[in-house]
Every structure is written in structure tokens, then in C-alpha cells.
């Protein structure tokens, strides 16, 4: 594991963090800002999305018990609330001020029922609760002992529950770790925040060239805000990890990896021109476990700031591939984070009606971007009306794209399987007899 080492440990890391986040609850996002269109966060924080990745079952969020550990200023909590309608939310943070800001934010957005605690996540068992979904965003890598954190959370995770967390990447963030080390040598970590941040600005402004500043990822616009300097160049306890570190930590905590949350964006094929690699390389990669394939990717091109993952009690899920019969007898629906999203619905409907290509940012897809060509939009638009029988989509594809039935079936099944692997659509293979079947517009 690569990590930034600690200077003279005058205060414990937990105490330094508590003081930092008392002063500057993170992130610095206006209370009034809405999380409704934060698709990236909604995807990462949706229990239904995580459970579908885990078991291919469509598990509704209604009635689920969700923990947000290390809630910060409540931006993550707000998105959790938006992404999981009807769930009961519990949050905790070391910093009382962060919890206060979270409470204000949630009340403002109509989520006043959330239960809030000023509590170290290591003590979460005290609440006597067991959770269906636990999220800790930008927290795990700050703990002195991340494995102890994982173990504490595992103890309060239901047998079918999912834990979602992330770690800073050792290579992608290497420059920031170097700068932290340099600023620690200069004693900046021990100064009051405004003074320390001012010194970082002076330091950067005094450097010999813009190239040097760019190499140190300095952007004066972003770092006008002290919160951002403290979250990067002066972040106490910050550490970097690689995929093998994650796997070792999960093993020590007796947790299993479901998959990376943005796993499609870690596909080694993305590293090659038109996704084509020499046959020997493909054959060797095929022999590797999914985690080792992810590790190969990060060794070649470490472009992810975070290793964002879903974990479970080991071996608790078994995913069998769908058969053609499952598809042909089933109904497909949009990922629920999309179904009530006004902006998405408008854009999707427009592409459908005007026979245009549809594109949006989607963390489940390669490069975090999903593009659906016009011919496929011609039969996918019906998803806006609700779960749609696959057979109805095949009929529509045959009609609008003038295809023979077999060709239409081939096109629909292949394309839907791709969208399903991006967790953009979900298959319900066994519709309840007599339940509403939606007409196709």
C-alpha cells in the first residue's frame, strides 16, 4: 500500500480530522443546491443499482435502512435520500458542525426524518441497528486503520446488505501525496487553516513556471476556496491505495468484492485503439480474475481518483447469466434513478420522438458516457412508459427499422444486454401474471 507518512503525531488523525471538518464541513456546496440531477452520485448511492449489480434482482429502496457514515456537510446524504425513495436514513460524523449542516440541508430539501448522530463510525454498533446499505464516500482512506473501519461496518451490515466505499488511488493522486509530504515538512499542517492555505497560495504563485504549477495540479480558480486546499494539499490522514490493497483489506475484514462501482470504465480493452489488442494479450487477460484485470488497468493508465467499490458478506450472492428465454419472457425497465428524473425524461423523449442519437453522462458505462444511436432509440423510447415486455420491443424494432423478426430479436437482445451490463436498464425475468403491460406509443 502506498501512503503518505505522518509527521510528528501531535494530535491523532481522528482529532485533526474532527477539527478540520468542524471548521470546514465538506463539501462546500450551497444548502439550496438540489441533488436531483446529480446522476453520478445518484448512480453510486442507489441501493437498487448496487443490489442489481450484486444479484440481478430489482430490489426497491422503500423500507430499507441506510447508513451514511462520515456524512460531511450532507451533500452525499441528500443524494442518498434522492436516490433511495422511501428508505430510512441514519447518518453519523465525527464533527458536530458537519452533522448540523447536514440536518439543515436535509430539512431544506424536505427530508426531515433522517436520524443524525455525532459519532465515530468505529462505534456504530452502539446504535443497535443493522443496515441494508452503507455508504462512506471519501472517508475510508482517512481512517488510521481502514480495515478496523470495514470490520466495524461489516458488523452492522445485514446478511444481504451492501457496503459502498472508496479509496484514493495511490498513482492517480501521487502528486498530491508528494505535496502533502512537502507541506508537512514546512509545518503547514500545524497552522490555522486560513494561514496554511495562504501559504500554499503564496508557494504556488512563487513557482518558476506555469508548467510547474500545472504539474502540481494547481488551479487558482479551484483553490480560491480554502475547503479545496484542505481537501487536497493539506488533508490530514490522506492515503493512497491500489486494487491489491483493496482486496487484501476486504479479505482481512472478511468482506467480498461485488465489483467496482464504475467497473465498465476499468475494462483493459479501453486501453487499446478501437478496443482491439493482440490475441496473446487478450488470452492472458482472460486468465486473470476481475480484480487482477482492474489492477492491470491501473498499472497501465491510473486515471481514476477513486477506487469506488461495492462489498458484501463474502459469497452471499450468486449471479447466473440470463438466458435468451429469460429475456424473451421478461420485461425491461430503466434504472429507477432515471424514471422520475425530469431532465432525463425530456432528453430521452426528445431523442425518441425526433429519431435522434441520445447521449448522457452515465458512470456505469465506459468512459462514464452512454450514447444510444437513433435506430436503437426508435424502440427504447417506450421505456419511458414503464417496464416494457422485451417481446414488444422486438416487434417495435422490426416495425420501425424494417427488420426481419430474427434480426430484430438479435438486435434488441444484444443491445439490451449491453445497456443492462451498464446498469442503465434492468431485467425482470418473471413478470407477475396479469400485472399491467404498457402499450407502446
Sole residue written with cell 495511490? 170
Cβ closest to ligand SAM, residue 15 vs residue 113:
15
17 binds ligand SAM (CB under 6 A): yes
What contacts 322, CB < 8 A, 6 or more positions away? 56, 330, 417, 427, 429
| Closest distance of CB 257 from ligand SAM, Å | 21
Cβ closest to ligand SAM, residue 144 vs residue 160:
144
| Closest distance of CB 24 from ligand SAM, Å | 9
Cβ closest to ligand SAM, residue 21 vs residue 266:
21
180 binds ligand SAM (CB under 6 A): no
Backbone φ and ψ of 162, nearest 5°: -130, 135
Q: Answer yes or no: are the C-beta atoms of 110 and 138 closer than 8 Å.
A: no
75 binds ligand SAM (CB under 6 A): yes
138 binds ligand SAM (CB under 6 A): yes
Q: Which of 76, 245, 262, 265 binds ligand SAM (CB under 6 A)?
A: 76
Q: Answer yes or no: are the C-beta atoms of 42 and 364 closer than 8 Å.
A: no
| Closest distance of CB 369 from ligand SAM, Å | 23
Span between the terminal Cα atoms of the chain, in Å: 55
Sole residue written with cell 440531477? 37
Q: Which of 50, 65, 90, 92 binds ligand SAM (CB under 6 A)?
A: 92
Grid cell digits, residue 309: 467499490
What contacts 333, CB < 8 A, 6 or more positions away? 58, 339, 383, 386, 387, 388, 425, 426, 428
Q: Answer yes or no: are the C-beta atoms of 207 and 244 closer than 8 Å.
A: no
308 binds ligand SAM (CB under 6 A): no
| Closest distance of CB 338 from ligand SAM, Å | 22
121 binds ligand SAM (CB under 6 A): yes
The count of residues in the chain is 441
- Contacting range for ligand SAM; rule: CB under 6 A; set: 132-140, 218-226, 377-385, 432-440: 132-140
256 binds ligand SAM (CB under 6 A): no
- Contacting range for ligand SAM; rule: CB under 6 A; set: 32-40, 137-145, 168-176, 257-265: 137-145
Cβ-proximal residue to ligand SAM, closest one: 72
What contacts 236, CB < 8 A, 6 or more positions away? 13, 16, 17, 20, 142, 189
Among 11, 31, 34, 15, smallest CA distance to 23 is for: 15
Q: Give per-residue burial for 216-251: e unless 16+ CB within 10 Å, then b.
A: bebeeeebeebbbbbbbbbbbbbbbbbbebbbebbe
| Closest distance of CB 395 from ligand SAM, Å | 45
Q: Which of 55, 95, 228, 293 binds ligand SAM (CB under 6 A)?
A: 95
Grid cell digits, residue 14: 481522528
142 binds ligand SAM (CB under 6 A): yes
127 C-beta neighbours (distance < 10 Å), count: 15
Grid cell digits, residue 397: 424494432
The alpha helices in 157-309, defined as continuous H runs, are: 174-185, 193-206, 210-215, 226-231, 243-252, 279-286, 290-300
Q: Answer yes or no: are the C-beta atoms of 269 and 275 closer than 8 Å.
A: yes
Cβ closest to ligand SAM, residue 69 vs residue 426:
69
Mask of contacts with ligand SAM, 53-72, x by CB under 6 A? ----------------xxxx
- Contacting range for ligand SAM; rule: CB under 6 A; set: 90-98, 239-247, 316-324, 339-347: 90-98
Distance of alpha carbon 357 from alpha carbon 376, whole angstroms: 9
Q: What is the Cα gyration radius of the chain?
A: 23
| Closest distance of CB 3 from ligand SAM, Å | 16
Q: Which of 16, 26, 78, 177 binds ligand SAM (CB under 6 A)?
A: 26
Q: Which of 4, 46, 48, 137 binds ligand SAM (CB under 6 A)?
A: 137
Cβ closest to ligand SAM, residue 120 vs residue 312:
120
| Closest distance of CB 355 from ligand SAM, Å | 40
Which residues of this chain interact with ligand SAM, rule CB under 6 A?
A: 14, 17-18, 21, 26-27, 69-72, 75-76, 92-95, 98, 120-122, 137-139, 142-143
Amino acid at each position: 500500500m502506498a501512503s503518505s507518512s505522518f509527521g510528528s503525531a501531535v494530535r491523532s488523525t481522528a482529532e485533526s480530522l474532527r477539527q478540520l471538518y468542524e471548521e470546514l464541513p465538506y463539501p462546500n456546496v450551497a444548502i439550496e443546491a438540489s441533488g436531483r440531477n446529480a446522476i453520478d452520485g445518484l448512480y453510486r448511492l442507489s441501493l437498487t443499482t448496487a443490489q442489481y449489480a450484486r444479484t440481478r434482482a430489482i430490489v426497491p429502496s422503500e423500507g430499507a435502512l441506510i447508513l451514511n457514515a462520515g456524512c460531511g456537510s450532507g451533500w452525499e446524504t441528500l443524494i442518498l435520500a434522492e436516490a433511495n425513495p422511501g428508505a430510512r436514513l441514519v447518518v453519523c460524523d465525527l464533527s458536530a458542525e458537519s452533522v448540523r449542516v447536514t440536518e439543515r440541508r436535509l430539512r431544506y430539501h424536505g427530508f426531515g426524518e433522517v436520524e443524525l448522530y455525532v459519532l465515530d463510525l468505529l462505534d456504530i454498533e452502539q446504535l443497535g441497528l443493522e443496515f441494508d446499505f452503507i455508504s462512506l464516500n471519501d472517508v475510508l482512506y482517512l481512517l488510521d486503520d481502514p480495515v478496523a473501519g470495514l470490520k466495524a461496518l461489516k458488523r452492522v451490515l445485514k446478511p444481504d446488505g451492501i457496503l459502498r466505499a472508496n479509496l484514493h488511488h495511490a498513482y492517480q493522486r501521487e502528486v498530491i501525496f508528494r505535496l502533502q509530504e512537502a507541506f508537512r515538512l514546512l509545518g503547514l499542517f500545524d497552522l490555522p487553516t486560513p494561514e496554511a492555505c495562504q501559504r500554499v497560495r503564496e508557494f504556488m504563485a512563487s513557482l518558476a513556471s506555469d508548467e510547474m504549477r500545472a504539474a502540481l495540479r494547481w488551479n487558482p480558480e479551484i483553490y480560491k476556496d480554502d475547503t479545496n486546499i484542505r481537501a487536497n494539499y493539506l488533508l490530514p490522514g490522506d492515503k493512497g491505495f491500489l486494487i491489491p490493497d483493496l482486496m487484501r483489506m476486504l479479505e482481512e475484514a472478511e468482506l467480498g468484492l461485488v465489483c467496482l462501482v464504475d467497473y465498465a470504465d476499468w475494462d483493459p480493452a479501453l486501453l487499446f485503439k478501437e478496443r482491439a489488442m493482440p490475441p496473446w494479450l487478450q488470452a492472458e487477460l482472460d486468465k486473470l480474475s476481475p480484480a487482477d484485470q482492474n489492477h492491470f488497468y491501473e498499472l497501465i493508465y491510473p486515471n481514476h481518483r477513486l477506487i469506488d467499490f461495492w462489498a458484501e458478506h463474502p459469497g452471499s450472492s450468486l449471479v447466473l447469466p440470463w438466458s435468451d428465454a429469460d429475456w424473451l419472457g421478461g420485461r425491461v425497465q430503466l434504472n429507477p434513478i432515471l424514471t422520475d428524473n425530469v431532465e432525463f425524461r425530456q432528453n430521452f423523449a426528445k431523442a425518441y420522438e425526433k429519431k435522434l442519437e441520445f447521449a448522457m453522462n452515465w458512470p456505469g458505462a465506459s468512459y462514464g458516457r452512454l450514447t444510444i444511436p437513433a435506430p436503437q432509440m426508435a424502440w427504447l423510447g417506450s421505456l419511458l412508459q414503464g417496464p416494457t415486455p422485451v417481446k414488444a420491443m422486438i416487434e417495435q424494432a422490426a416495425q420501425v427499422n424494417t427488420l426481419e423478426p430474427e434480426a430484430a430479436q438479435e438486435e434488441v437482445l444484444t443491445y439490451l444486454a449491453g445497456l443492462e451490463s451498464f446498469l442503465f436498464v434492468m431485467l425482470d425475468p418473471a413478470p407477475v401474471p396479469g400485472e399491467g403491460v404498457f402499450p407502446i406509443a
